[in-house]
Chain A
Amino acid sequence: MLQYVIAGLVLGGIYAIASAGLVITYVSSGILNFSFGALAYFVARFYYYLHTQENWGIIYSALLAILVAGPALGVLLYFALFRHLRLSSPLVKVVATLGLLVAVPAISTLIFGTQAIESAPGLAPQPVRVFSFLGVAVTLDQVIVYICVVATVVVGSAVLRYTDVGLKVRAMVDSPAMTALSGTSPNAVSIGVWAVSTFFAGLAGVLAAPIIGLDPNNFTLLIAAAFAAVIAAKFRSLPIAVGVGLAMGVVTSLIQEYLPPSSNWTAEIIDAVPFMFIAVFLVYNLVRRDTDSGAERVGGALDRAITPQGANQMAGSTASALEGGSLGLMAKFAGPVVLIVVAALLPIIVQGFWVGLMAQAFAYGIIFLSFTLVTGEGGMIWLCQITFAGVGALTASQLATNHGWPVLAAIAAGGLVALPMGLLIGFLTIRLGDLYVALVTLTFGLLMENLVFTMGIFQNLGLGVNMGRPDFAVSDHAFAYLCLVAFVIVALFIFNLRRSTTGLALNAVRWSPPGARTLGISVVQMKIIVAGLGALVAGIGGGFLAAAQTTAQPGNFATFLGVVWLAALVTIGVRSNAAALVAGITFTMLPAIALAYLPSWTGQLPAILFGLGAIGVAKFPDGTLEQSGEIFRRRLLSLANGRAPAPAGDLRAPGARLLAAPATNGDATQVVEEVPS
């Protein structure tokens, strides 16, 4: 029993330090840092580089990595990104930090190389000394974790409670505007808070490395587990976050003692325990109704009064459609039609291996359309679209291969199995703020990944289940075209949806749920419609993807891989059907091209590009394709009217002119809903 508690306190201590780092930046800037795990990994990798690869001493390596590089990373990111996110919508905050989560591990591979690391030393000298405590063996590494946790709690609470610096931090959490009016710069305090937060990330990373190994995915999962403590603390309470973090570690460890060690389920359940915690705390908050989006705001009434409302919404507008009208149908359809013709020519131009990739690219395009529905139309961040795709793929392969269904019917059935899941999650999350929706869907994905996708019938000893293709489209060529046709059908459906009354209602809901409600639009109904459709489309796309890859491999549908998908789509544009196709092609082709023709280091570039692209939504909420499409439309319009093209400086996200004027600080677009007196 005692040995489980001692081991559990180590994991719990790491959770506690990580959740402390997450809570302080949330309360001071309203940003839940999804990239925390990636930052922890980066610092841990840097420590490994210094200590193991460059043979620096432990002390110097630790000082440089944890005390210098960690905080420096925080300051750098503050100036490059977090500073601009303060006033962004929760949606943009989530996407931008997810972008960082995608980009940072790739950047770190670029810097430190791709070598696989078997085991990483901690802060204790090797060989690690072992003590005996009440008959239980305790390693020096574990003792160091305990010391760090105690130091964090003692020093942290003393600084916050008794020092001027702590007072200023607490004041800024209360109201940045009042802090400025009291003569303290909120920016200076923010820089400090971010530096401390990334210090905690680095500390947690270096402490965790000996336990979980130096693999970015493990770090991301570890920190995802620490989210449970943050949610239990309602994002705000440091003591609760730290306490729950410690308790979670111990409980996870104790569960191991009581589960039968031989059962297959035991390993799966242990992996899923942290996400069960998240689910429990989320449900608790749901029941207590502590989940309104008001909790995502920072500061008091004064801060809201001086904040431009609706800044950087990832909402787009109907303006581009309206403009298209003045150009006539020709110009409106020219772009998408040209794109589809080009896409249709691609499988003819390329050969062999690349044709198979084109089929995958079009299948990805279909899955990406589900993001277009849920995020682009519905204005919700769902991180489990990949899970729906996985459900579709696994269902379709079971039905087609093991039950002899026709392939297309199996794919459709896969979509229909995903549909009720989407409806259910949509229904459960309907009244939640954007951040909660992201967390609920992330947890759903992680639970499915750990509890369902790991089942023997889907794993098939790690090979995945075979997935056939329809008899009339067995070759790569034919199947690529089948996928393209399916894409066009779904895209046309979305196009029609957008033009319909339902689409207009969705647009209204996206801009302002309360406003839509006053018009008599049922927000609940609208959101559930897109949620269900999104799951259906993702499921069908997943089926096509499995058929394109000829197997349904559960590992291809890992939840955090879905974050890369989202980043890829958001980079190109989350509001347009064409962007989904372009994103599908880019997402498949870029890595393959890098692999086939370019030096090996370029293999990291796609992830970096997608990550940076997602970060870029803070500036261009509609993505790059929309941006350049807008330029193209302007040119066309001015040619048609016989005028010189509009100056480039005048180009903004579509709808900027209708709904917003340039912000005084030059940041994207802003809309004021009410002018404070």
Chain B
Amino acid sequence: MTEPLLSVESLDVRYGTSQALFDVSLQVNTGSVTAVLGANGAGKSTLARTVSGLVPAAAGRVLFDGQRVSGRPAQKIRKLGLTYIPEGRGIFPGLSVIDNLRMAVGQEKRSERAGAIDRAITLFPVLGQRRQQRAGSLSGGEQQMLALARALAVPPRLIIADEMSLGLAPIVAESVFQSLSEAARGGITVVLIEQFVHRALALADSCVILTRGRVGWSGPAAEAGQEVLDRYLGEAEQATNSTAV
């Protein structure tokens, strides 16, 4: 088996006094789609923010393509080809659509930028009609398309997509999933953080379930269905028990 593209080893993360992640380890293989699932507050977004360099790790390390990236700033990690689309629209709401795309391709050579922007607009033609519009005034679905266009304009090696379907109409969410699966088929490794469990599992090869900041279960996506049920409901059951006590 080849070396994993992303490897998280015994990661601890703290926000001030509260610890959000405890000893989290996982591996993401090149070309795979991994679903990270878990209830609210399980630490999914914290994991993504730490891997992408926005939040420092308290212990443990993150390797991307064999290089240690934990401790590096987010912009350096992005330059290595790891793109994180944060929860709640990964765009600059105050900038125009075209400026959002310009920021996304800013690391490319000058001569290649225009081509990259055109490619992104071909993926989502609606953006072409809204070039000068302020991104914050786009509809939710259009904003997510812009976020994806930003991520795909220069094809990255790994995309971490955090709750991209959140707050979208089902039909729009469907098209977002479509684009992600096309990206995966095109050879981009995808880590999917999702609330639509079944959608995510249909797309994913493997699955990691976080429970209260710990890895509760990980394995092939095909076997995850029952586990998800147990982990989500099991936690609810536990919570009920503890309140009863």
Interface residues of A (CB under 8 A from B): 164, 167-168, 170-171, 173-175, 177-187, 300-302, 305-306, 308-309, 659-661, 663-665, 670-672, 675-677
Known interface pairs A170-B94, A675-B41, A677-B46; A177-B86 also in contact (CB < 8 Å): yes
Stretch with Cβ within 8 A of A (4 or more), from B23-31, B99-107, B118-126? B99-107
Residues of chain A contacted by B232 (CB below 8 angstroms):
none
| B48 smallest CB distance to A (angstroms) | 11
Candidates A168, A661, A664, A676; contact of B103 at CB < 8 Å: A168
> Chain B 14-56, CB within 8 Å of chain A: the 1/0 string?
1111101000000000000000000011111110010011111
> Are A184 and B54 in contact, CB atoms less than 8 angstroms apart?
no
Pairs A–B under 8 Å by Cβ, sample size 10: A167-B106, A168-B103, A170-B94, A175-B93, A178-B91, A184-B106, A664-B58, A670-B17, A677-B43, A677-B45
Set A183, A663, A665, A670: member contacting B106, Cβ < 8 A: A183
Known A180-B78, A181-B52, A183-B79; contact A175-B92, beta-carbon cutoff 8 A: yes
Which residue on A lies nearest to B15, using beta carbons?
A672
Whether B106 and A168, one on each chain, are in contact in the complex, defined by CB atoms closer than 8 angstroms, is: yes
Q: Contact at B18–A672, with CB atoms within 8 Å? A: yes
| Of A179, A663, A670, A675, most B-chain CB atoms within 10 Å | A675
A180 touches B73 (CB 8 A): yes
CA distance A167 to B106 in the complex (A): 10
- Known A168-B103, A672-B15, A672-B18; judge A185-B75 contact (CB<8 A): yes
- Other than the given A174-B94, A177-B86, A181-B90, 14 more pairs (CB < 8 A) read A164-B102, A167-B103, A167-B106, A171-B95, A171-B103, A175-B93, A177-B54, A181-B78, A181-B83, A181-B86, A302-B87, A306-B49, A677-B41, A677-B44
B46 & A660 in contact (Cβ 8 Å cutoff): no
Given A170-B95, A171-B92, verify A675-B20 contact (CB < 8 Å): yes
Q: Given the complex, which residues of B lie within 8 Å of A173, measured CB to CB?
A: 94
B15 contacts which chain A residues (CB < 8 A)? 308, 670, 672, 675-676
Interface magnitude class on chain B:
35 or more
- Cα–Cα distance between A663 and B16 once the two chains are bound (Å): 6
Q: Are A660 and B52 in contact (CB under 8 A)?
A: no
Q: Is A183 touching B75 in the complex (CB atoms < 8 A)? A: yes
Task: Report the Cα distance A179→B106, complex, angstroms.
Answer: 11
Q: Looking at the complex, which one of B16, B53, B91, B150 makes contact with A180 (CB distance below 8 Å)?
A: B53
Contact at A671–B86, with CB atoms within 8 Å? no
Tell me if B219 is interfacial: C-beta within 8 Å of chain A.
no
Question: Closest chain B residue to A173 by CB distance?
Answer: B94
Q: Name the CB-closest residue of B to A311.
A: B16
Task: Kindly list chain A residues whose C-beta atoms are within 8 Å of the C-beta of B86.
Answer: 177-178, 181, 302
- Taking A171-B103, A670-B16, A671-B17 as contacts, is the C-beta distance between A182 and B78 under 8 angstroms? yes
Which single residue of chain B is at the shortest CB-CB distance from A185? B75
Task: State in angstroms the CA–CA spacing of A671 and B17 once bound together.
Answer: 7
Residues on B with C-beta less than 8 A from A675 are 15, 18, 20, 41, 46
Q: Which residues of A contact B103 (CB under 8 A)?
A: 167-168, 171, 179, 182, 184
Q: Which of B16, B49, B78 has the most CB of A within 10 A?
A: B16
CB pair A676–B45 under 8 Å, yes or no, is: yes
Given contacts A170-B99, A676-B46, contact A665 B56 (CB under 8 A): yes
Least Cβ–Cβ distance between A37 and chain B, in angstroms: 30
Q: At the interface, yes or no: B64 with Cβ under 8 Å from chain A?
A: no
User: A671 contacts which chain B residues (CB < 8 A)?
Assistant: 16-17
CA distance A301 to B84 in the complex (A): 15
Closest-by-CB residue of B relative to A177 is B54
Asked if B167 CB lies within 8 Å of chain A CBs, one says no
Residues of A within 8 A of B116 (CB): none
Cα–Cα, bound, A177→B58 (Å): 19
Query: B95, A181: Cβ atoms under 8 Å?
Result: no
Tell me which residues from 100 to 147 in chain B have a Cβ below 8 Å from any Cβ of chain A. Answer: 102-104, 106-107
Residue B11, interface by CB 8 Å: no
State the CA gap A538–B58 with chains docked (Å): 47
Tell me, rounded to whole Å, the shortest Cβ–Cβ distance linking B35 to chain A.
16
B88: Cβ under 8 A from any A Cβ: yes
| Chain B residues within an 8 Å CB radius of A665 | 56
The reply to whether B73 and A174 contact each other, CB–CB distance below 8 Å, is: no
Q: How far is the CA of A306 from the CA of B50 in the complex (A)?
A: 10
Q: Which residue of B lies closest to A186 (CB)?
A: B75
The residues of B that contact A177 with a CB separation of less than 8 Å are 54, 74, 86
Report how far A207 CA is from B240 CA in the complex, Å: 71
Complex: chain A residue closest to B193, CB-CB: A677
Residues of B with C-beta under 8 A to A309: 16
Interface centre among B53, B74, B150 (most CB of A within 10 A): B74
For residue A301, give the distance in angstroms from its CB to the closest CB of chain B: 5
Do residues A661 and B45 form an inter-chain contact, with CB atoms below 8 A? no
Report how far A306 CA is from B49 CA in the complex, Å: 8
List, in ascending order, chain B residues with CB within 8 A of A301's CB: 88
